[in-house]
Amino acid sequence: MMLELASDQGATLEERDLNTSPLAVRGLTVSYGQKPAVFSVDMTVQPDAMTAIIGPNGAGKSTLLKAALGIVKPLSGQVSVFGYPLEDQRARIAYVPQRASVDWDFPTRVIDVVLMGLSRQLGLLGRVRARHKARAMDCLHRVGMRDFADRQIGQLSGGQQQRVFLARALAQDADLYLLDEPFAGVDAATEKAIISVLKSLKQSHKTVVVVHHDLATVTDYFDHVFLINTHKVAEGPVAEAFTAENLQNAYGGRLATAQIDQISHVSG
Amino acid sequence: MLWDALTLQLGYNATLVAIGASLLGVSAGVTGTFLFLRKRALVSDAISHATLPGVCLAFMVMVLLGGDGRNLLALLAGSALSAWVGLLCLNWLTRHTRLAEDAAIGAVLSVFFGFGIVLLTIIQTMGMGRQAGLEGFLLGSTAGMLWADAVIIALGGAATLALVMLIRRPMTIVAFDPDYAAAQGMAVHRIDLAMMGLVMAVTVVGLKIVGLILIVAMLIIPPVTARFWSERAEHVVLLSGLAGGMSGYVGAALSAMAPNLPTGPIIVLLAFGLFLLSILFAPVRGVLAALLRHFRFQRRVHIRQGLLAMAQGQKIYEPLTRRLLQRAGLIRADGVATEAGKARAAKALRDEKRWEIVRADQAHEAVAALYNGLRDIETVLTPDQIAEIDRRIGAPKEVPA
Amino acid sequence: MSGAEFVPLSLTPMLIGTFAAIACALPGNFLVLRKQALIGDAISHVVLPGIVVAFLLTGTISTWPMMLGAAGAAILAVVMIEAVRRLGQIEAGAAMGVVFTTMFAGGVLLLEQTDTSTVHLDVEHALYGNLESLIWLDASGWASLLDPVALAGLPPELPRIAVTLIAVCLFIWVLWRPLKISTFDEGFARTMGIRTGALSLALVITAAVAAVAAFDAVGSIIVIAMFICPPAAARMMTNRLEVQIGWSVLFATLSAILGYVLAGYGPLWLGAADAVSAAGMIATVSGVTLAVCAVLGPCRHRVGAQTSA
């Protein structure tokens, strides 16, 4: 536990994390009404790696991400991005929200959604030029959606919608990518396409954080895990932190013991 | 004078209007509750505005047939008919096109109202010279009301109320959980239509007293008011009826006192007064109660986090946390923990550790669900259970200074 | 019809009606997409109390106090709706219903309490406008458009609504990208650093300004038709926001001109002697447009994979 480590040296270690980590969260508490969804959470995301945030339903995974991005207002706590306040670093963050969070009936085409990722670059009145279009098409190509550029977004399948969201994030050309349940309800082909894009991001020294719900794929996909159940359960490299004990701690009795055994053998 | 008004001593008509307004208030409050719980409060706005063309058409038909067009019953029948057509348009738009309900409501209410205005101007030029007070239907007007009109309103209010009471159970179930209702074999769509039919009845009965714009208030404000006082649907229905009835009765009585106190606005403003009291002072859902709760909660969160940080020898970054700890006498001005602070910090950390054991242990699953970072473990476990957990943790550790 | 008759009697009401319809339809597109269509309803109902209060405070019916009163009432209503919704945890529709009906009731009561019969301020006028009276008596024909003396006699409503329309266009043009992004995906918009709360308020205020300026032309209730019907009809014609805006402007213009013509000349064609309410007819035509699009529009149905988590 942390308390044994809590010496002066530990404190300086923490301060340094706060200064350099792509995303560092300290003492974050978010509450909907009287029930905290996230309680006093510290998180230090490792650079150039893929981190999974995992935990049971209602454990505060998405809330943690949204609070870190300033989408929901925390009750207390601090967030730093690459060592600076969030507001100064917006341009370096790309966010992929849950698919269900937007109105897919909105009158717009796939290409327009991807171009939204370029809007910081374009400013208020900047015209969309050929090179912007080319860039957006390139991002669509990377997620295998090039042929769908002129489709209305409502006509896409769930997996295709998710890929369009990822393409929009790619267009932002950020250093830190935050994805909220990108694999929820998508087909196998989409899952494969997304994970290969994410792995290529890692190779080009980007940091990727994913809210993830499928324990079976954690060891295949990710380098680091962050286990949460309202408060932090564990954090670290998959080999160290993704253990049966930590999972039991995070999921309590809700996860069948057999399932944990199976997974811990895999990660074993 | 006020006393005379409230005790119904201002003449037959005023008395009947007051009785009619109270009955109307009760039935509007009760009916509106189902609409509100179904999250379709503003459908009433579309229904009420859609009555206007019907009123005008009924008038024109009566005049063309040689009458003087003042028969209230016929006017109300016409208004019901066009409101029903408006409702069907609304339903069709939301079910068969991509329009959301709010846009459909706005479209129906404005177009029907606009068409009604066109008809009104036709009536103005029909050579009748007078409009039989049709404008009274916009804002309500009880002045010059006939005895027969008052009887119709009183009877209509009573009949509507009786109908609402008759089908209140299915309406409650549908409002609460339409999917469950459908699974139970209830015809959700038909019950919805019945609910809308009742809203329409209330609107039509209320046209003469409060007018088509303000009847919406009587369908919305009392339910919202009542919601602050109870979490149980049947109580909300009763309270809403009470609030509506009171506003109607007192409002009608007050307006009978003077000619420049129009009934509709007075009733609405009284209802709003009740709403204002409720939103501010209701014990659980009221604003004051919620604010107090929020500040208390925020304070607990900050102190708890501060104590845990102290126990782990971490620096406390948040100024608010430091301030709260200092005010509670747990740290000194320079940030160093006091004796009391150290003890509380050690306890907080220990509790956190205990919770961790509880949450990891399947045997404690029910208790673990109660964890929210703030709950004292003593409130959910017996001393024996805590002692057992403490054995598993081992001896208390020293808190680093 | 000759210019000598058309220009003084019909040109200005038609232009005012058209400008008002477009000024409302433009922000209406976003309100409809944001499922806030009924904000227009709420705003338009509180214009009346705003004007009454302005009249009571200043004692005159001059234009600017009334515009300010109406705009103030609209902003007050929006703030109150937000307060009731958040503080009382009341669903948005019900919160609107509470606020705008109460303010409307207050307006009617104040109106009845004061003797406004001497001035031209009555409920009916406020509710359904007076487009027909906005004529240009100084004009004698098309040539008057170049005549400074005649132009000075233009009804003041015309330049006012024209300025409003330009302001609304500017607002939409400058903030197009943030408006579009935050309407589609608010969470994403915030991560881009767009201040969605402020933007949303700015949109509502723009709508309120348009409603107030359009109010004395078409009346407060019919403004709602202009907010909702052209954008809703336009939505059924296309799946692209840019194109939808274009359609909505077209439908707004069509409703205003056709509505005015039908109201002014329709009864004469049918052999009746007098015109009917132009504002009412404009709303009716916009409703017919919507109905046609709802039955025949190429994009009238919801399509594809709906959101299912």
Complex ipTM: 0.90
Question: Is residue C18 situated within a structural domain?
Answer: yes
Angle value at C-alpha C193, between C182 and A119, nearest 5 degrees: 65
Chain C residues whose beta carbon lies within 8 Å of the beta carbon of residue B103: 32, 35, 37, 228, 231-232
- pLDDT average, residue stretch C41-52: 86
Distance between C224 CA and the closest CA of chain B, angstroms: 6
The pLDDT value recorded for residue C145 is 82
What is the tens place of the pLDDT at every residue in B363-386? 776 777 677 667 777 777 888 888
**In chain B, what are the domains?**
2-283 (1.10.3470.10), 288-393 (no CATH)
Does the pLDDT of residue B263 top 80, yes or no?
yes
pTM (2 d.p.): 0.85
* Chain B contacts in chain A segment 165-224 (CB below 8 A): none
Which three-class secondary structure state does DSSP give residue B261? coil
Please count the residues of chain A: 268
How far is Cα B209 from Cα B248, in angstroms, rounded to an integer? 10
> A touches which chains (3+ CB pairs under 8 A)?
B, C
The span from the CA of C33 to the CA of C234, in Å, is 11
- CA nearest C243 in A: which residue? A107
DSSP symbols for B64-79: HTTS-S--HHHHHHHH
Pairing, β A76-81 against β A84-85: antiparallel
For residues C51 and C196, the answer to whether their CB atoms sit within 8 Å is no
Candidates A93, A108, A125; nearest CB to C174: A125
Reported as a single tens digit per residue, the pLDDT across C148-166 is 888 888 888 888 899 999 9
**Any domain includes C285:** no
Angle formed by the axes of helices B263-281 and C92-113, nearest 10°: 130
Q: What is the CATH number of the domain that holds C120?
A: 1.10.3470.10
The tokens of C211 are what? 């409603």
For chain B, the distance separating the N- and C-terminal CA atoms, rounded to the nearest angstrom, is 76
Contact check, Cβ <8 Å, A3/B397? yes
Residues of A in contact with C183 (CB under 8 A): 106
Nearest by CB to residue A29, choosing from B301, B314, B356, is B301
Cβ–Cβ contact C127 with B under 8 A: yes
Cα separation, A224 vs B233, whole angstroms: 48
Could you give the 3-state DSSP secondary structure of residue B396?
Answer: coil
Pairwise CA distance, residues C251 & B100, whole Å? 19
Measure the CA–CA gap between C217 and C120, rounded to whole angstroms: 14
Residue B143 near chain C (CB below 8 Å): no
Query: Tens of pLDDT along A71-94?
Result: 888 888 889 999 888 888 888 999
Helix, strand, coil shares, percent, chain B, to 5: 75, 0, 25
CB neighbour list of residue A112: distance below 8 Å, 6 or more residues apart:
C240, C241
A185 contacts in chain C (CB < 8 Å): 308-309
Which of A11, A40, A248 lies closest to B308 in CB terms? A40
Residue A142 pLDDT exceeds 90 = yes
Nearest CA in chain B to A37: B372
On chain A, the residues whose CB falls within 8 A of the CB of C180 are 108, 116
Q: How far apart are CA C191 and CA A72, in angstroms?
A: 11
Judged on CB neighbours under 10 Å (0-12, 13-18, 19+), B33 is buried
Q: Of chain C residues 85-104, which have a CB less than 8 A from chain B?
A: 87-91, 93-98, 101-102, 104
Characterize A179-190 residue by residue with b for buried, 16 or more Cβ atoms within 10 angstroms of its Cβ, and e for exposed.
bbbbbbbbeeeb
Instruction: Determine, yes or no, domain membership for C10.
Output: yes
Summarised one tens digit per residue, pLDDT across range A147-198 is: 999 998 988 999 999 999 999 999 999 999 999 999 988 999 999 999 999 9
Sheet of A176-180: strand order equals: A93-96, A176-180, A207-211, A50-54, A224-229, A231-237
Where helices occur in C88-156 by DSSP H, the ranges are 92-113, 123-128, 148-152
Q: In chain B, whose CA is at the least distance from the CA of C286?
A: B111
How many structural domains are present in chain C? 1
On the question of pLDDT at C249 being above 70, the answer is: yes
Is C263 inside a domain boundary?
no
Residue ranges and CATH numbers for the domains of chain A are 2-267 (3.40.50.300)
Q: Which residue of A has its CA nearest to B353?
A: A1
Q: Which helix (H) or strand (E) holds B180?
A: helix B178-183
DSSP A152: B
Q: Which residue of B has its CA nearest to C44?
A: B110
pLDDT score of B373: 67
Q: For the residues A121-141, what does the mean pLDDT come to?
A: 90
- Cβ neighbors of C271 (< 8 A, separation 6 or more) are none
8 Å CB contact of B221 and C97: yes
> What's chain C's average pLDDT?
86
CA distance A5 to chain B (A): 9
Residues of B in contact with C302 (CB under 8 A): 98
What distance in Å separates the CA atoms of residue C127 and residue C131, rounded to the nearest whole number?
12
For the record, the structure tokens of C156 come out as 């003041």
Q: Cα separation of C226 and B206, whole Å?
A: 28
Q: Tell me the pLDDT band of B221, cut-offs 50, 70 and 90.
A: very high
Of A93, A99, A116, nearest to C181 by CB-CB distance is A116
Nearest to B359 by CA among B345, B370, B348, B350: B370
User: Angle between the C92-113 and B188-227 helix axes, to the nearest 10 degrees?
Assistant: 60
Whether A34 has its CB under 8 Å from any CB of chain B: the answer is: yes
Each as own residue / partner, the long-range contacts of residues B225-232 (CB below 8 Å, 24 or more positions apart, any chain) are B225/B271, B225/B274, B225/B275, B225/B278, B226/B29, B226/B33, B226/B278, B227/B36, B227/B285, B227/C90, B228/B278, B228/B279, B228/B282, B228/B285, B228/B286, B228/C88, B229/B278, B229/B282, B229/B283, B229/B285, B231/B284
Q: Which residues of C touch A119 (CB under 8 A)?
A: 177-178, 181, 192
User: Contact A95/C187, CB-based, under 8 Å?
Assistant: yes
The letter for the amino acid at B322 is R
Smallest Cα distance from B359 to chain A, Å: 6
Residues from chain C that touch B96, judged by Cβ atoms under 8 A, are 294, 300-301
Q: Is the pLDDT confidence value at B110 over 80?
A: yes
Non-local (6+) Cβ contacts of C45 within 8 A are B213, C100, C101, C103, C104, C220, C221
Rounded to the nearest angstrom, the minimum Cα separation between A156 and chain C is 6
Chain B interface includes A31 (CB < 8 A) = yes
Q: What are phi and psi of C301, to 5 degrees?
A: -95, 150
Domain that holds residue C28: 3-219
Residue identified by tokens 């020293």 is B398
